[in-house]
Amino acid sequence: MEIPTLFTYPFRYTPHPLVAEAAGSLIRLLDSPDAPVPEDALRSLREGKMLGVLITDNGPLYAFSGILAGMSLLDGFVPPILDITSGYFKQREREISALPPGPEKSAASTALQDWLFSNYIVLNARGDQASVKDIFAARGLVPPGGTGECAAPKLLNHAFRTGLKPLAMGEFWYGRSPVREVREQGRFYPSCTGKCGPLLSWMMQGMEVAPNPLDSALDSPLEPKILYSDDAVVVVDKPSGMLSVPGRIGVKSLLEWLRKRFGESVESCHRLDMDTSGLMVYARSVQYKSELERQFASREVRKSYRARLDGGPWNHSLKGTIALPLTLDYYDRPRQMVDYESGKLAVTDYEVLEILPDGSIDVIFWPLTGRSHQIRVHAAHVRGLGHPVRGDRLYGSSSYDGRLWLRACGLCFKHPVSYEPMAFGEGV
C-alpha cells in the first residue's frame, strides 16, 4: 500500500487506506470476546468514545479521547499528555469539590484549570515545546475545557516525544452512538476546531501537511447559471464550491458575482452551504428582499433537495418525516448537533427514490424548516436516517469523490410584486 507523502489535514479529510485498515483492526479486536482491555474500560468504550490512529514509520499508534473508567493509561494506547487521574490535579479537584458553592469555589476551579493548561506541555514537529495555555494565548484565546485530551494531540505528542515520524492520522467513533452528536461506530470525523484547531495547527508546524480541501473547492471552475431574472428577483443555479455570500477574504461569492451583473442593489434572501449546489433566489432591492425573507420565515417557500446517501442496511420507511432539534456545536463550528433542551426544531420530509446496486441511496428531501446543515444532520444522525450524504466528511461519510452529493433541486415562491407562484426545478 502506498505510503502517504503529505500528512493528513485533520480538519477535513478522507482517511488514508492505512489509517482505515488500522482502525478496522482495532475495532475487530475490541469487538472480539477476548478483547485485551479491562472489563470496566471496555464497558466505557462500548458506551461510546472517539478513538484515534496515527500511522508512523514504525507502525500504528492508538489513542482514546479523555479518560476511560477513571483511567488515563491503558495498554495498547498512547499515554496522555498529562495524567489528571492522580497527583496534584486530582487532589486539588477533591478539595475544591468539598467547598461550598460560592466565589471561593469558583475562583479555585478557575485557578486549577489555569494550572492544568499551564502544565499541558506539548511538542511540535520542529522540536519546539509550549504549554496549551501559551499556544492559545498567542491567538488571544483561552483554551476551552477538555483541550489536550482528544486523541489527535495525544498521538502527535507521543510520536514527537519518542522520535517517530507521523505519516497519516484519523479519528473515528467506537461504541454506542450519542444522542447529541452525529457519531456512528467505524466512521471517521474531523478534529474539532475549537479545542484542537489552535493546538494541532501549532503541533503540525514543521510537517508537510496536505492542503485544506476547502481551498481547492473554492477554486471551482464552474460558473453560476441564471435561470430567471426581472426587475425584482434573480433565480440562479449555484455551483458546488461557491459561497452564497461573502465570507472568506479574497474568495468570490455568488452575491458578489450577481452584483457585478445586476448592480449593487442585489440582496441575499437565504443561503446554501458552500459544498451544496442548486437553486437560489436573490432580490434586486432591499424592498423585495424583505418580502422574500417574510415568505421564508413563514414557511411559504417550498424547497426540495436531491441527495445520494452512503450505503448500508436501510432500516427506515421509504418515505417519512424527520424532526430533530438542532443547535451549533460551539467548539466545533460549523458542525451542528441535536439538542433537546435548547435546540431549534428542524423538520424534514423525505422519500427514497432508488437504492442503487452499490448500496448507496438516492433520496429527495423537503425541508419544512431552514436550519443550518439541516438535511446533512437529518441524513447522518442515528435518530434520523443514519446514512450521511455521500462526500460529507464533516458528518462521517465513508466515501468521497471530490463533491458533496447534495443539490437544491427545486424552489417555489411567490413573486414579491405580482405574488404569482414561481416554480423552478423539480419536486416542488
**Mind spelling out the 3-state secondary structure of 106-142?**
HHHHHHHHHHHHHHCEEECCCCCEEEHHHHHHCCCCC
Residue reference for cell 479486536:
29
* 216-425: CATH class: alpha beta
Considering only residues 358 and 348, tell me which one the structure prediction assigns the higher pLDDT. 348
pLDDT tens for each residue of 162-210: 999 999 999 999 999 999 999 999 999 999 989 999 999 999 999 999 9
pLDDT of residue 2: 86
Residue 254 φ/ψ, nearest 5 degrees: -65, -40
CATH fold for the domain made of 17-82+120-210: Cytidine Deaminase; domain 2 (3.40.140)
Calculate mean pLDDT across residues 1-24. Answer: 93
pLDDT of residue 252: 83
pLDDT of residue 86: 87
Q: Is the pLDDT of residue 102 over 70?
A: yes
Compute the distance between CA of residue 53 and CA of residue 243 in angstroms, rounded to an integer. 33
Q: What is the dihedral of CA 268, 370, 250, 239, to 10 degrees?
A: -90
pLDDT tens for each residue of 124-137: 999 999 999 999 99
Cell matching residue 127: 522540536
Catalytic residues: 273
Compute the distance between CA of residue 391 and CA of residue 403 in angstroms, rounded to an integer. 6
Q: Is the pLDDT of residue 34 over 70?
A: yes
200: left (phi over 0), alpha (psi -120 to 50) or beta: alpha
Compute the distance between CA of residue 194 and CA of residue 368 in angstroms, rounded to an integer. 30
Residue 158 φ/ψ, nearest 5 degrees: -65, -40
Q: Is the pLDDT of residue 221 over 80?
A: no
In the three-class reduction of DSSP (H, G, I as helix; E, B as strand; rest coil), residue 9 is classed as: coil
- The ranges assigned to domains in the chain are 17-82+120-210, 216-425
Q: Is the pLDDT of residue 218 over 70?
A: no
